[in-house]
Structure 1
Amino acid sequence: MRAEVQALLSNHTWTLVPRPLSHNIVACRWIFRIKWNPDGSINRFKARLVAKGFTQRPGIDFHDTFSPVLKPVTIRTVFTIALAHQWPILQFDVNNAFLQGSLNETVYMAQPPGFRDPHHPDYVCCLSRAIYGLRQAPRSWYMALSSFLEHEGFIKSKSDASLFIYHKEGVTMYFLVYVDDLLLTGNHGPSLARFQDRLAARFSLKSLGQVGYFLGIEVQPSSTGYFLTQHKYVLDILQRFNMADSHPAPTPLSATAKLSLVDGSPPADATLYKQVLGSLQYLLCTRPDIAFAVNKLSQFMHAPTQLHWQHVKRLLRYLCGTASLGLRLSPPTTSTLVAFADSDWAGDPDDRTSTMAYLIYYGGNLISWKSKKQRSVARSSTEAEYRALAHATSELLWVQNLLIELHQPVSSPPTLYCDNLGAVNFSANPIHHSRMKHLALDFLFVRDLVQSASLHVRHIPTAHQLADSLTKPLPITRFQLPRSKIGVVPSSILRGRVKDITLD
């Protein structure tokens, strides 16, 4: 606590002034945390003075609050590029990051509990810098950091506002920001070292060396690339909900499960149900095998039943047996984008909507995936599949634009695989327009891309459709893309228990 107060005073965070009568006084409190190492050992004990931002008044005590955060797809894409060129990935942590941001509003805060000035106990702190807990604190820190990066020659990415790119005179550097956790990679070691020195001179920086533990994700380097796993996070979830010693389940969700909103079973504890599903949302960063199960079970958070809760516990039992699984990123041999898109038809028994899904590979590495319930009812399986194509195409275009900004353009137009011949034909043949004229015009951009040769849509047999595992509860949890036959996956890997999520 003394170290925290000293850091606040050395950064000139506030000035003690008499209590104003016409201003809101924001209270504060102490928060204590234990920082852990990836192996479960204690790193350090930490005390943080946090303002009670919920007492701030909108439009008076704060205005802008949004602070961009890094997209997981961007992280996996940059990791793939670094593996392709054998670039180092350096990790940094900023000490008291929010104290680096300046406030544009006049904010008064009560003195820290236990550290009141004995000569002026009734005075309050007039804040000149942002402090943790204030609504505008993340925004202020982000603006201070982005201003410094832009002064150093970095350009903010249009695809991801938390990605900054430097590309001058043959030197390329990528700087990734997630609040106060920073990653830096590039092709020129001396330039990386010089920029690191300037960054440390501007901010209080802690260099963590090569990336190893980032945002709760363990990055395990090897001769074959990186293995991303959230092993400790899974164990923490199981321990928190008393499922650490449960009997493992072979699949995330039963293949015969028919989940509906009203199933006749008694209601379950909605608070506990939401806590479990909320914890599992972040696990999707490295576990695409549970994407469908989490998406399906999240649809009943407003009114869960005992049957829903039983399937949640089954998902936890599956994680109990597969806690060490993760996502493997290998050095890519190509710079192509390959995607799989699929959808069931009227699979939801309550409103007859469909579930769509897609998987996107860059250079053979799985970088993006999603399982999502469609918003409208499809009148045919072709319509449901085509809507899945449209969503996958939108994500493909975003990834393609991201790669162009990173100065890593793809070598050929992306290829999108679909197992529905009607949707494949409709994406290229306007003669089918009369059957699908009720579709919204914004979905027809897929056909424009196909006709301009900017996108290739290909048919693939259902047995080889990788995205099928994210649209229904099937025991398909191994997402492999063979190097020899892009898009053609042996059906043998679609059977049996989970072994790995990796690249064949």
Structure 2
Amino acid sequence: MCMYALTMSTMESKIFNEAMTDPAWIESTQEELLQFKRLDVWVLVTAPDNIKPLTLKWLFKNKHDEKITIIRNKTRLLMRGYHQEKGIDFKESFAPVARMEAIGIFLAYATHKSFTVFQMDVKTAFLHGTLKEDVCVCQPEGFIDVDHPSHIYKLKKALYGLKQAPRAWYIELSTFLLHNHFFKGTIDPTLFIRRFDDDIFMVQVYVDDIIFGSTHPRPDIVHATCLCSRYQAKPTEKHLKEVKRIFCYLWGTINTGLWYTKDYGFELTGFSDADYAGCKDTFKSTFGGAQFLGQKLEAKYVSQSACCAQVLWMRTQITDYGFHFNKIPIYYDLKSAIAICYNTVQHLRTKHITICYHFIKEHVKKGLSPQELDRLAKSQ
């Protein structure tokens, strides 16, 4: 560990010329440009007369572990994306991001099914995203082509700092998953599911972080087999070793299986509560809500109507996992609020309520349980 630490630089420079005086940062910079070459990010072209190339910037950061020990000198070549103009340099920049509630549901389902969840971080993820627009950039500082100093780079892939980079990466990843027989979640475009008879394989994407798991105990060897088959024309000892590893796995798991137990249910329940002018200083009211999925709790401060909206969103999300809840109890401890939910009563004390909060009435008729609501009210 001490010898490894000696190869790391403790300096974190903001100036390129200063960073290039340290061998560790020189190596890190070359590693970054090697990724550009490996992923075929750009091509050197003659500068067009009608295009003003965007500029690049080197960023040098030290990555630390939990003990604040430097474990890596990380260099990133960024684009100054704030110079981009919408409609000229890019059209769309929106990319969906998983909600924390969606990740919680994913983990709750994994716990319910008792399977292992794996997490992976895609290295230089944005460099994989293919660009649709024509974007040109200047040559990076310190790496000007000697034979063509006036040339510029035309991007094939996205760069960090590019406004459309997150969207390009999401499209690239989702296209790959859909091509491999996954389908997107009904309301969550960051959830991808593939079914194998009675088994399910799930992938949840949060930008470049991916968590995945499956109820199928046997890993899919298709990817490993296809990867090895690329080198059939000229295999090396390393490829032969990997092929033997695949056969060893197949032979060693012929009689191997897993037994899953269901130690608790997977029911969706909502709770809501509120006080009126509870704060003695400001006379503000506090609204609270909680949703239980099995034995997992996800809580937020929401009104009764917002609690209903959260439950409905969770019900639709869970549909992609194969669960269909028709009647969902939402517990509330105020008779008057319960009465408004399934009665068309209107008077001076309710006419100020915004129309959007009344949608709960329709959903009480469609699936929320008035018996459960009323039962808690009578017990108060």
Given the two structures, how large is their TM-score scaled by the length of structure 1?
0.57
1:102 aligns with 2:15: no
Whether 2:297 is the aligned partner of 1:366: answer: yes
Tell me what 2:9 maps to.
none
Cα contact 2:93–2:167 (8 A) shared by 1 = yes
Distance in 1 between the 2:113 and 2:69 partners? 34
Q: Which residue of 1 aligns with 2:359?
A: 445
In the alignment, is the contact (CA less than 8 A) between 1:93 and 1:181 conserved in 2?
yes
What SS does the corresponding residue of 1:458 show, helix, strand or coil?
helix
For residues 397 and 346 of structure 1, the distance between their equivalents in structure 2, rounded to whole angstroms, comes to 28
Structure 2 equivalent of residue 409 of structure 1 = 324
Amino acid at match of 1:333: Y
- Corresponding residue for 1:128? 156
Corresponding residue of 1:419: 333
Is the counterpart of residue 155 in structure 1 residue 86 in structure 2?
no
Find the residue that maps to 2:218 and give its secondary structure: helix
Q: What does 1:98-497 align with in structure 2 at a 5 Å threshold?
A: 98-192=126-220, 194=222, 333-345=264-276, 354-367=285-298, 369-371=299-301, 388-410=303-325, 413-430=327-344, 432-434=345-347, 436-456=350-370, 458=373
My pick for the range that moved more, 166-175 or 336-345, is 336-345
Q: Which residue of 1 aligns with 2:3?
A: none
Alpha carbons of structure 1 residues 424 and 73: separation in structure 2 relative to 1, 3 Å: same
Query: In the TM superposition, what is the alpha-carbon distance from 1:76 to its structure 2 partner?
Result: 0.9
Per the alignment, residue 258 of structure 2 pairs with: none
AA matched with 1:340: F
Match of 1:320 in 2: none
CA–CA separation in structure 2 for the residues paired with 1:121 and 1:200: 41
* 1:39-118 matches, cutoff 5 A: 40-118=68-146
Q: Which of the two has higher C-alpha Rg?
A: 2
Query: For 1:87, what is the secondary structure of its paired residue?
Result: coil
Q: What is the CA-CA distance between 1:45 and the residue it aligns to? A: 2.1
- How far apart are the structure 2 equivalents of 1:422 and 1:200? 68
Q: Report the AA paired with residue 398 of structure 1.
A: W
Residue 327 of structure 1 aligns with which residue?
none
Deviations 1:221-261 (A, max 9, x none): xxxxxxxxxxxxxxxxxxxxxxxxxxxxxxxxxxxxxxxxx
Task: Measure how far apart 1:99 and its partner are.
Answer: 1.3
**Aligned partner of residue 96 in structure 2, secondary structure:** coil
Percent of matched pairs sharing the same residue = 30
Is 2:30 the counterpart of 1:30? no
- The structural deviation recorded for 1:199 is 9.8
Contact kept, 8 Å, 1:339 with 1:361, in 2: the verdict is yes
Is 2:106–2:204's contact at 8 Å kept on the other side of the alignment? no
The Cα of 1:194 is off from its aligned counterpart by: 4.1
Distance 1:63 1:165, change over 3 A: same
Change (3 A) 1:439 1:190: same
TM-score scaled by structure 2? 0.75
- The answer for unaligned runs of 5 or more in structure 2 is 1-28, 231-261
Give me the whole-angstrom Cα distance separating, in 2, the residues matched to 1:156 and 1:349. Answer: 48
Distance 1:13 1:429 in 2: 62
Q: What is the CA distance between 1:53 and its match in structure 2?
A: 0.4
Amino acid of the structure 2 residue aligned with 1:393: C
Q: Secondary structure at the match of 1:433?
A: coil
Residue pair 2:330, 2:368 contacting (<8 A) in 1 also: no
Cα distance in 2 for partners of 1:62, 1:447 equals 44
Q: Deviations over 1:339-368 (max 9, x none)?
A: 22233435689997744332211112113x
- Measured in 2, the distance between the counterparts of 1:48 and 1:418 equals 52
User: Which amino acid in 2 is paired with 1:356?
Assistant: F
State the AA in 1 paired with 2:56.
Answer: C
**Structure 2 CA distance for partners of 1:437 and 1:414, relative to 1, 3 Å:** same
Distance 1:47 1:201 in 2: 34
**CA 1:200/1:415 → structure 2, altered by over 3 Å: closer, same or farther?**
farther
2:374 & 2:153 partners in 1: Cα distance?
A: 65
TM superposition shift of 1:39 = 5.2
Q: Is the 8 A contact 2:44 2:152 kept in 1?
A: yes
CA deviation string 1:164-212 (max 9, x = no partner): 111242230110111111111111133455468779999xxxxxxxxxx
Deviation string 1:261-316 (CA, Å, 9 cap, x unpaired) is xxxxxxxxxxxxxxxxxxxxxxxxxxxxxxxxxxxxxxxxxxxxxxxxxxxxxxxx
**Could you say which residue in structure 1 is the equivalent of 2:244?**
none
1:460 is displaced (CA, Å) by 8.8
Q: Give the Å deviation of 1:15.
A: 1.2
Q: Is the 8 A contact 1:185 1:192 kept in 2?
A: no
Residues 99, 131 of structure 1: 8 Å contact kept: yes
- Which sits farther off after the overlay, 102-111 or 342-351? 342-351
More strand by share: 1
> 2: distance between equivalents of 1:402 and 1:128?
36
Instruction: Tell me which moved more, 435-444 or 149-158.
Output: 435-444
Letter in 1 for 2:335: L
CA shift for structure 1 position 8: 0.3
Q: Which amino acid aligns with 1:69?
A: V
The question of whether the paired residues in 2 share the 8 Å contact of 1:156 and 1:162 is answered with: yes
The amino acid that maps onto 1:370 is K
Query: In the aligned structure 2, how far is the partner of 1:40 from the partner of 1:178?
Result: 25
Q: Give deviations 1:52-82, integer Å, cap 9, x for gaps.
A: 1001111101111011111111111111111
Distance in 2 between the 1:403 and 1:196 partners?
31
* Corresponding residue of 2:245: none
Tell me if the contact between 2:331 and 2:376 (Cα under 8 Å) persists in the aligned partners.
no
| Corresponding residue SS for 1:174 | strand
3-state DSSP of counterpart to 2:132: strand
Structure 2 CA distance for aligned equivalents of residues 350 and 17 of structure 1:
67
Count of paired positions: 318
SS of the residue 2:342 aligns to: coil
Structure 1, 26-35 or 123-132: larger mean CA deviation: 26-35
Conserved? CA contact 1:418–1:460, under 8 Å: no
Where structure 1 has 5 or more consecutive residues not aligned to the other structure, the ranges are: 203-330, 373-387, 463-486, 489-504
